[in-house]
A and B are shown apart, each in its own frame.
Chain A
Amino acid sequence: MRTVILGASLLGSLILESTVLEYFKVAGVKPDLLLILVVFNALLHGCYHGAKLGFVFGLVEDVFIGKFIGLNALTKMLTGYLVGMGENKVFKENLLIPVFGLFTATFLNNILYVFLAGLAGVERNLAFYVWDVTLPTALYNACLAPLFYGKFYHSATKGYLRLSRY
């Protein structure tokens, strides 16, 4: 069931990002719904699951975008892994954790994106990417955290999104 819900969330997020969210741009940016899901998942289930979900979500996103396949897979995987490292070190019930976590994770994810894109030979305007894309997206994602974290937390600990024991 967890896989089905995550799969549906993945497709739903991709569709929303490519349609409805175009009308909800703030400061020229849309939220990164896939990253929000990856970060929540990593916060609640740790490095391994954070990295795994980040890789799958990122890869599907790359296939959907059709350019630089693997770039989002790697960045989301690394972000998921790094966020997951904090799983046992933070008080997950505190709402500030996902807010700050998402802000930091989005910032980190986008910086990694620029770095890896550079390694792959893709040129980016770093200043523009940091100030006009990364920062607003990080803020936007952080602002959305309180809206979804409660439900995700509940589902990931007691509902359909919890990990099976075996």
Chain B
Amino acid sequence: MARVRINKSLIGFIILIGVGLFAVRFSTPGRNALTPVEIWFRDILAPLQSGVTTVTRFTGTVVNNILSFKDLQAENKALRGQIERLTEENNQLEEYRQQNLRLRQLLRLEKMLGSQFELEAAEVIARDIKNWNQSLTINKGSRHGLKKGMAVITHQGLVGRISAVSENTAEVLLILDRQGAVAGLLQASRFPGVVEGTTDDSGLLQMIHLPYDAPVRENQVVVTSGLGQVIPKGLRIGYVVGIKPEPNGLMKRALIKPFADLDRLEEVMVVKAVKGGM
């Protein structure tokens, strides 16, 4: 009886294997379509798979974020330090670039005026600490041959004149100062006048004591006249931006915008002498 049962089991087993192999043979990837059972089974499981995948991805992201938090903190710190260093470096480079531009302009000025004047380059090291004076200090003094009264210019135009000299520094009285008046003339008409600072804070100059019929028009260029033997002749001062009659009705004055940017001076040239005399 036992033998019969074993044989039956064996036969069933072999049949099962045969049927299985047959099924395998006819369910290769090349068949045209899935059976309804497979389709149904896949559709049943799909939402569950989708849900589990979503949760898994979310969990993975959270876990990754937590694990990488310390690294990110360290990286953040390092990057901040790097940004600070690079910003500082960038700032320094920008300073050098700006300085380079200014020095090029001064060099060009020296080339342009070098045949007429003996020039000395200087750096502005200080501004006037009081509000009522318009002056600045440069890093060259008597040791470099600077003397009181010498004209100070930039590539843009006249800045002022030296009002005091120490061994290594010189004080420059700007043309904006009422005490820094210079003799000027209208370049086109050669009409002379005195150029001085205004009393307000407009940053403008004024050419005073002009007769009411003086040929002054806006945009005319004003240059130094060389009178008084202090400032050399022909240095550009500014251009006329307005004309105002004096209260007495006989005279008028011209408002002049200086060419030189007197608020942002960093390097200047001192005219030490005029080659061949004034």
Set of chain B residues within 8 Å of A119, measured between Cβ atoms: 21
Residue interface bits A70-89, CB-to-B below 8 A is 1, else 0: 11011001000000000000
Q: Which residues of A contact B21 (CB under 8 A)?
A: 70, 74, 116, 119-120
- B8-29 vs A, CB cutoff 8 Å, 1 = contact: the mask equals 0000000011011111110111
- Report the nearest A residue to B23, measured CB to CB: A70
Main secondary structure of the interface of A (DSSP, over half): helix
Give complex CA distance A14, B41 in Å.
11
A74 touches B20 (CB 8 A): yes
- B49 proximal to A (CB < 8 A): yes
- Chain B residues lying within 8 Å of A64, measured Cβ to Cβ, are 38, 41-42, 45
Interface positions, chain A 50-85, Cβ under 8 Å from B, are 55, 60, 62-64, 66-71, 73-74, 77
Whether B214 sits at the interface, judged by CB under 8 Å, is no
Bound-complex Cα distance A60 to B42 (A)? 11
| A113 vs B188: C-alpha distance when bound (angstroms) | 106
| Pairwise interchain contact A70-B56, C-beta atoms closer than 8 A | no
> When the two chains form the complex, which single residue of B19, B24, B34, B53 contacts A120, counting CB atoms closer than 8 Å?
B24
A1-44 Cβ-contact flags toward B at 8 Å (1 or 0): 00000000001001110111001000000000000000000000
Q: Which of B19, B29, B52 contacts A67 (CB 8 A)?
A: B29
Task: Looking at the assembled complex, report how far the CB atom of B98 sits from the nearest CB atom of chain A, in whole angstroms.
Answer: 56
Partner of A66, one of B22, B23, B34, B48: B34
Contacts of A71 in B (CB 8 A): 20, 24
A14 touches B23 (CB 8 A): no
Chain B min CB distance to A44 (Å):
21
Tell whether, in the assembled complex, residue A68 and residue B56 are in contact, meaning their CB atoms are under 8 Å apart: no
Q: In the bound complex, how far is the Cα of B42 from the Cα of A77, in angstroms? A: 23
B: contact size bracket: 20 to 34
Q: Please report which residues of chain B, range 43-100, place their CB below 8 angstroms from some CB of chain A when the two chains form the complex.
A: 45, 48-49, 52-53, 56, 60
A-side contacts of B27, CB under 8 Å: 62, 66-70
Docked Cα-Cα span, A55 to B38, in Å, equals 17
Q: How far is the CA of A54 from the CA of B48 in the complex (A)?
A: 24
A127 interface residue (CB < 8 Å to B)? no
Are A117 and B49 within 8 A (Cβ)?
Answer: no
A16, A20, A66, A121: the one within 8 Å of B38 (CB): A66
A116 close to B24 (CB less than 8 A): yes
Q: Per-residue CB proximity of B28-40 to A under 8 Å, as 1/0?
A: 1100001001100
> Are the CB atoms of A63 and B41 closer together than 8 Å?
yes
Q: Say yes or no for A147: interface residue by CB 8 A criterion.
A: no
Question: Does A122 count as interface, using CB distance less than 8 angstroms?
Answer: yes
Please determine whether B24 and A117 come into contact, CB atoms closer than 8 angstroms. Answer: yes
Chain A positions within 8 Å of B53 at CB level: 19-20
Contacts of B28 in A (CB 8 A): 67-68, 121-122
Among A16, A55, A67, A122, find the residue whose CB has the most chain B CB atoms closer than 10 A: A67
**Contact partner, A14, options B25, B37, B45, B60, Cβ 8 Å:** B45
Give every chain B residue within 8 A of A62 (Cβ-Cβ).
27
Please state if B16 and A77 are interface contacts (CB–CB under 8 Å): yes
- Residue in contact with B42 in the complex, picked from A16, A66, A70, A122, CB distance below 8 Å: A66
Least Cβ–Cβ distance between A82 and chain B, in angstroms = 12
Give the top 7 A-B pairs by smallest Cβ distance, nearest first.
A70-B23, A70-B20, A69-B27, A120-B24, A74-B20, A19-B52, A68-B24
B interface, CB within 8 angstroms of A: 16-17, 19-25, 27-29, 34, 37-38, 41-42, 45, 48-49, 52-53, 56, 60
Residue pairs across A and B with Cβ atoms less than 8 A apart, 13 shown, are: A14-B45, A23-B56, A55-B16, A60-B41, A63-B38, A67-B27, A68-B27, A68-B28, A69-B23, A70-B21, A70-B24, A74-B21, A116-B24
- Given pairs A15-B45, A19-B49, A122-B24, 10 additional interface contacts (CB within 8 A): A16-B52, A18-B45, A19-B52, A19-B53, A63-B37, A66-B27, A70-B27, A74-B16, A120-B21, A121-B25
